[in-house]
Chain A
Amino acid sequence: MPRLAYAFREAWQARRSQTGQHDCGPQHDLALGEEKASVQAVGGQGTGEQDAPTTIDAAEKAFDSRLTPKKRLFLALALVLVAFLSFMLGKYAMSPLEVVQTVWYSLGGDLPAPDPARELVLYNIRLPRILVVMMVGAALSVAGASYQGMFKNPLTSPDLLGASAGASLGACLALLLSLGGEAVQLFAFIGGMLAVGMAVWLNKFVDYDPTLGLVLAGILVSTLFQSGMSLVKFMADANDKLPTITFWLMGSFSAIDRTDLVRCMVPMLVGFALLVSQSWKLNVLSFGDEEARSMGVNTRRTRLLVIFASTLVTSVSVAVAGIVGWIGLVIPHLARAVVGPNYRVLLPTSMFIGAIYLLLVDDIARLLATVEIPIGILTAIMGVPFFVFIFKHNMRGWR
């Protein structure tokens, strides 16, 4: 195996040096004439030939926007660490050793059988919850980051086009009709998709800038669905249904079980894959519709794809956990401050940071009081100082 990798690397380097020599010919000489002198005079940097051997390295170095191995390792380690921490914390506290022992035992390790309750908590409660929290954190962050580029506005969050309002109305309706937990999720998901679909459809009637039209349509649809929600709340029984609805809207991961995990996994992964596949085009799209088209991007298709994928993951998030605000706004900024605005790097980084952040907030929600605090409240409270912090630090990654 290593030998194969070595051979591959050799071949790759050979190819690179070949292209390097091939490309760096003195081709500028032919046509430049008098202008050439002026290039060197004004630019101050050589025009190529004399530093031909170093050029390809310089180019790669200057154009490499990938994450440094250090940052990658840090993100991965932080996620693993926080996830491990989340396994330990909670009403049923476990020591790190106990967690490791239980996992080792269930992997067939030669250990005395652990407390069955511990196994139950670990696999049926904490594992699904941790995975869902990670996915929701990643989903809201990646959707927010995508929208911010697409709408050329750093203050955009993933519910701009009405996904949250639609999902909330759907869930409220299901709760009003006393339908079961699965129906609430299904209604929320359908509501979110429906609201955004409506915004996209309304946009057809706007005859100018398509992104601005989408924002306007999103505001309209959000308002419409929010008033629908108020109507549902007004009709709900104040003793029984209204508290349920209000509580649901605050967001919580407390009721997550394995079936939730299985149900939200597929749409989430599909959404992530779609968004990451569009990351280069998102870069181009943030320069505006016309420029993106002139660079060969089918902006309409890309926009619809990004909207679809973002709405998919946002609606699933709301359906499974209720409204968890501010993640989609704050995390992309944090990620941008760390790795810069290039979407190829920004999207995966946002997902990692979003997952880590929401895991931490969820831990706090579990531990802070004897009753679990709705997570939507915490993300909002923590979002504000977080944002102030980013503002204070020169809005890095913003200007």
Chain B
Amino acid sequence: MPALSARQVARGSNPLRPQGQSAMTPAYDGSLLEVRGLVCGYGKHHETEVVHGASFGLDADEFVCIIGANGCGKTTTLKAVMGLLPAKRGEVLVCGQDIATMKEAERAKRFAYIPQAHTPPFPFSVADVVLMGRTPYINRLARPTAKDCMLAYRALELLGISHLAKDAYTRLSGGQQQLVLIARALTQESDILVMDEPTASLDFGNQQLVLSRMRMLARMGKAVLMVTHDPDHALFCADRVIVMDKGLVIREGTPHECITTEMLHRIYNTDACVVDVEVAPERTARVCVPLL
């Protein structure tokens, strides 16, 4: 019997808990997430339809990036997938179960949302913020248990920021805040991590930091669905890319298949060159170079 690769062992596992003790869904043969013919938009009666048809899937150990121009419906798709926005037509299935039939707490055990770092009105401690990820598991009157604290602490450790636990979240740098939000999402122990342009307001170094942490989590067996406006980020960390244009999914495949000079021209309406660069001996990286 061939040895299992690290990737296979980690498939669908929960980085916060030891093997075999996962809080995640028991074996399910189909893909973890399935989006079929999703049509959605805003307004009481979906007057402004933004997404006209999106179908894609996500496996338990995949890192999938959705790329596209501003206003093409990436974020709207994400919200509808998480059930924050009702779908007009089509369905979103997690392990075969329609999210429209699920309660908030059930959905929160499936999806953990990592928003862009922003400042809440009050200076919660990092510990408090991360513990909030346990909300779907805390019933109305109970307070977080030692076990919840343990999971939250482990999430911080995993991301290398446990020394910040006592600090006020509002006083951290943007990159640190983003890591705290990732830790919060991990603490939620959901099947899927969903991110909406997590690097949008971060500097170069913090962008790499956040992306490398996300890639690490994906390697450890988390399914990640990330919206990004930077094709380089998709090349850097995605297993698969979904390209959206004007509310439709127009291409799906590996980053190398999807991110091409022609595709960039089509979706961003700009000239860019996709090239391979040798960054170290025998290690190349594919990047997009804008042609100004």
Contact = CB atoms under 8 A, between A and B. Distances in A.
Interface in B92-132: 103-109, 111-113, 115, 118, 120-125, 127-128, 131-132
Given A58-B153, A62-B127, A31 B10 contact: yes
Contacts, number: 191
Contacts of A39: 158-160, 216
A281 B135 contact: yes
Interface string A12-53: 000010011011010110111101001110111111100000
B158 A47 contact: yes
B14 to A, nearest CB: 9
B155 to A, nearest CB: 10
A344 B143 contact: yes
Interface stretch (B32-40, B144-152, B239-247): B144-152
Given A149-B122, A296-B109, A336-B122, A27 B17 contact: yes
Interface string A103-138: 000000000000000000000000000000000000
B136 to A, nearest CB: 3
Interface stretch (B63-71, B162-170, B260-268): B162-170
Contact of B157 (A30, A48, A65): A48
A342 interface: yes
Interface in A277-302: 277-278, 280-281, 283-284, 286-288, 290-291, 293-299
Interface of A is mostly: helix
Interface residues of A, number: 64
A38 B84 contact: no
A294 B124 contact: no
A360 B189 CA distance: 48
A296 B212 contact: no
A90 interface: no
B233 interface: no
A341 interface: yes
B127 A48 contact: no
Given A283-B128, A286-B121, A63 B157 contact: no
Contacts of B13: 30-31
Contact of B132 (A56, A288, A295): A295
Interface of B: 6-7, 9-10, 13, 15, 17-19, 43-44, 79, 82, 84, 103-109, 111-113, 115, 118, 120-125, 127-128, 131-133, 135-136, 138, 140-141, 143-144, 146-147, 149-150, 152-154, 157-163, 165-166, 168, 170-171, 188, 194, 209, 212, 215-216, 219-221
